[in-house]
């Protein structure tokens, strides 16, 4: 059990502190050790698989935050994870301070939908900003004959691990195409980082991955002996009308010289967002937001998917959870968002 230090000891510490301070000629007087070394606050960012783009976002933010460690006392690290759903749950449980999550997953967690239906709305979820757009990407082996979502019938398809964001998108796309993922195909639930190898080894015919482009996973899938293409995801107007967080997009073929496609690929997209919890302090979120936005030009050079980031879009697009008070403080300070009336 912790005991209060009795007054005489406190007094002697104080005197000792004062003596040291005086002999060093510093003006500030306090206990010697406490003033010598500022406290370090450790924070961790949950990303995704190592061949995705979340991993690059985490690494970039970590670099920028750690450069300011002397002023802020904050030391960041990032880790590979199962993806959006895992990140949201782990941030809300307090084991990670920040996480990357698809905008659709942020919306669902906040409203208590999809994976959060049983637990109900996650009202301590907070948004920091959005990052790059990511597209629902269907990668298939050329010899599988898969040219459309409908062709997945009877095939072995990785729809994503349960902690991923992309699993929900695979299910949405399959349902929109009239396929029952449990009976119409052989669905696998492995992590995206393992998908390319499984495809090259002939153990699956295709996989879904919701990811920014260019992604290491797709380059890796197309680099093997088995020719691979990206399958267009079309006729999704009904899904977009039902779920407005989806938007039509195209994947430029030029980003993947080795895929068999001859033209850009039609599909649908969501946004990557940086999320945190209301329980993380204002100071931490303010410092991380500031480190990212003050160095945005440098961040944009860290991966081609970040090249088109605009601060004005990052503080609005794809954010359904309330913006964390620490991020809001920074946005208001620099005039990115209006101050409260
Ligand atoms: N969107 C994927 C997910 O949430 C991760 C994509 C990435 O790692 O870049 O599972």
Query: Which one of 47, 51, 52 would you pick to mutate in the ligand 1 pocket, going by the greatest count of ligand atoms within 8 A of its CB?
Result: 52
76 vs 327: CA distance, rounded Å: 17
215 vs 301: CA distance, rounded Å: 15
What pLDDT, on the 0 to 100 scale, is given for residue 19?
Answer: 31
Together in a domain, 178 and 235: yes
Per-residue pLDDT of 197-242, as tens digits, reads 999 999 999 999 999 999 999 999 999 999 999 999 999 999 999 9
Together in a domain, 215 and 199: yes
What pLDDT, on the 0 to 100 scale, is given for residue 30?
Answer: 47
What pLDDT, on the 0 to 100 scale, is given for residue 36?
Answer: 56
Together in a domain, 189 and 139: yes
What pLDDT, on the 0 to 100 scale, is given for residue 339?
Answer: 87
Closest ligand 1 atom, CA of 270? 1
Last residue of a domain, one of 227, 246, 269: 269
Examine the pLDDT at 278 and tell me if it is beyond 60: yes
Together in a domain, 128 and 276: yes
CA of 166 to the centre of ligand 1 (A): 7
Together in a domain, 167 and 262: yes
The set of protein residues with a Cβ atom below 6 angstroms from ligand 1 is 48-49, 52-54, 83-84, 102, 134, 164-166, 210-212
Query: Which one of 79, 91, 100 would you pick to mutate in the ligand 1 pocket, going by the greatest count of ligand atoms within 8 A of its CB?
Result: 100
CA of 82 to the centre of ligand 1 (A): 8
Does any domain span residue 17? no
CA of 85 to the centre of ligand 1 (A): 10
Its pTM stands at 0.88
Examine the pLDDT at 131 and tell me if it is beyond 50: yes
Domain that holds residue 237: 134-269
Examine the pLDDT at 320 and tell me if it is beyond 60: yes
What pLDDT, on the 0 to 100 scale, is given for residue 15?
Answer: 32
Closest ligand 1 atom, CA of 82? 10
Environment class of 123 (CB within 10 Å of its CB; exposed 0-12, middle 13-18, buried 19+): middle
Closest ligand 1 atom, CA of 167? 10
Per-residue pLDDT of 31-57, as tens digits, reads 555 555 568 999 999 999 999 999 999
Q: pLDDT band at residue 154, thresholds of 50, 70 and 90?
A: very high
More confident residue, 122 or 29: 122
What pLDDT, on the 0 to 100 scale, is given for residue 340?
Answer: 73
Q: How many Cβ atoms are within 10 Å of 158's Cβ, its own excluded?
A: 27
What pLDDT, on the 0 to 100 scale, is given for residue 279?
Answer: 98
Together in a domain, 124 and 233: no
CA of 79 to the centre of ligand 1 (A): 13
Cis (ω within 30 of 0) for the bond into 263?
A: no
Closest ligand 1 atom, CA of 87? 4
What pLDDT, on the 0 to 100 scale, is given for residue 37?
Answer: 59
Closest ligand 1 atom, CA of 134? 1
Environment class of 148 (CB within 10 Å of its CB; exposed 0-12, middle 13-18, buried 19+): middle
CA of 165 to the centre of ligand 1 (A): 6
Looking at residue 71, which CATH number applies to its domain? 3.40.190.10
Concatenated DSSP letters for 30-92? --HHHHHSPPPEEEEEE---TTSSHHHHHHHHHHHHHHTHHHH-EEEEEE--S-HHHHHHHHH
Together in a domain, 147 and 210: yes
Last residue of a domain, one of 249, 269, 289: 269
Per-residue pLDDT of 297-315, as tens digits, reads 999 999 999 999 999 999 9
Does any domain span residue 179? yes
Examine the pLDDT at 12 and tell me if it is beyond 90: no
Does any domain span residue 169? yes
Examine the pLDDT at 11 and tell me if it is beyond 90: no
Structure tokens at 114: 């999809």
Q: pLDDT band at residue 23, thresholds of 50, 70 and 90?
A: very low
Together in a domain, 127 and 142: no
Together in a domain, 99 and 218: no
Return mean pLDDT, the chain: 91
Pairing assessment for the beta strands 125-141 and 41-46 based on DSSP bridges: unpaired
Share of the chain above pLDDT 70, in %: 89
Together in a domain, 245 and 313: no
Name, in order, each residue with C-beta under 8 angstroms of 244's C-beta and a sequence gap of 6 or more.
none
Together in a domain, 171 and 281: no
What pLDDT, on the 0 to 100 scale, is given for residue 54?
Answer: 98
Environment class of 34 (CB within 10 Å of its CB; exposed 0-12, middle 13-18, buried 19+): exposed
CA of 283 to the centre of ligand 1 (A): 28
Together in a domain, 65 and 154: no
Query: Which one of 86, 115, 158, 165 would you pick to mutate in the ligand 1 pocket, going by the greatest count of ligand atoms within 8 A of its CB?
Result: 165
CA of 231 to the centre of ligand 1 (A): 19
In 275-304, which positions are buried (b, 16+ CB within 10 angstroms) versus exposed (e)?
bbbeebeeebbbbbbbbbbebeeebbebbe
Does any domain span residue 1? no
50 vs 81: CA distance, rounded Å: 9
Q: List the residue whose alpha carbon is closest to atom 1 of ligand 1.
A: 210
Does any domain span residue 213? yes
Concatenated DSSP letters for 242-299? H-TT-EEEEE-GGG-TTSS-SS-EEEEEEEEEEEEETTS-HHHHHHHHHHHHHTHHHH
Closest ligand 1 atom, CA of 47? 8
What is the greatest pairwise CA distance in the chain? 83
What pLDDT, on the 0 to 100 scale, is given for residue 33?
Answer: 57
Closest ligand 1 atom, CA of 100? 4
What pLDDT, on the 0 to 100 scale, is given for residue 165?
Answer: 97
CA of 196 to the centre of ligand 1 (A): 15
What pLDDT, on the 0 to 100 scale, is given for residue 300?
Answer: 98
């Amino acid at each position: 059990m912790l005991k209060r230090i009795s007054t005489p000891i406190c007094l002697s510490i104080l005197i000792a502190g004062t003596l040291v301070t005086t002999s060093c000629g510093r003006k500030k007087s306090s206990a010697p050790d406490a003033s010598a070394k500022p406290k370090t606050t450790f924070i961790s960012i949950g990303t995704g698989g190592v061949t995705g783009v979340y991993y690059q976002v985490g690494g970039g933010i970590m670099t920028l935050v750690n450069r300011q460690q002397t002023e802020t006392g904050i030391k960041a690290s990032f880790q590979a994870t199962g993806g959006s759903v895992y990140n949201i749950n782990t941030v809300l449980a307090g084991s990670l301070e920040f996480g990357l999550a698809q905008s659709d997953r942020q919306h669902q967690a906040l409203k208590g939908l999809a994976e959060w239906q049983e637990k109900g709305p996650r009202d301590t979820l907070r948004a920091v900003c959005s990052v790059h757009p990511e597209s629902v990407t269907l990668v298939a082996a050329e010899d599988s004959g898969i040219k459309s979502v409908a062709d997945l019938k009877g095939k072995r398809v990785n729809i994503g691990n349960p902690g991923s964001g992309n699993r929900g998108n695979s299910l949405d796309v399959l349902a929109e195409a009239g396929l029952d993922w449990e009976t119409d195909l052989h669905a696998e639930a492995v992590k995206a980082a393992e998908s390319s190898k499984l495809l090259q080894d002939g153990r699956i015919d295709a996989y879904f991955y919701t990811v920014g482009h260019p992604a290491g996973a797709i380059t890796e899938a197309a680099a093997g002996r088995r020719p691979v293409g990206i399958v267009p995801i079309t006729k999704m107007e009904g899904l977009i009308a039902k779920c407005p967080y989806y938007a039509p997009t195209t994947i430029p073929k030029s980003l993947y010289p080795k895929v068999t496609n001859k033209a850009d690929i039609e599909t649908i997209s969501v946004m990557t967002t940086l999320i945190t919890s209301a329980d993380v302090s204002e100071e931490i979120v303010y410092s991380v937001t500031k480190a990212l936005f003050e160095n945005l030009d440098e961040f944009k050079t860290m991966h081609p998917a970040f090249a088109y980031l605009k601060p004005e879009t990052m503080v609005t697009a794809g954010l359904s959870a309330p913006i964390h008070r620490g991020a809001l403080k920074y946005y208001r300070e620099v005039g990115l968002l209006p101050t409260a009336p």
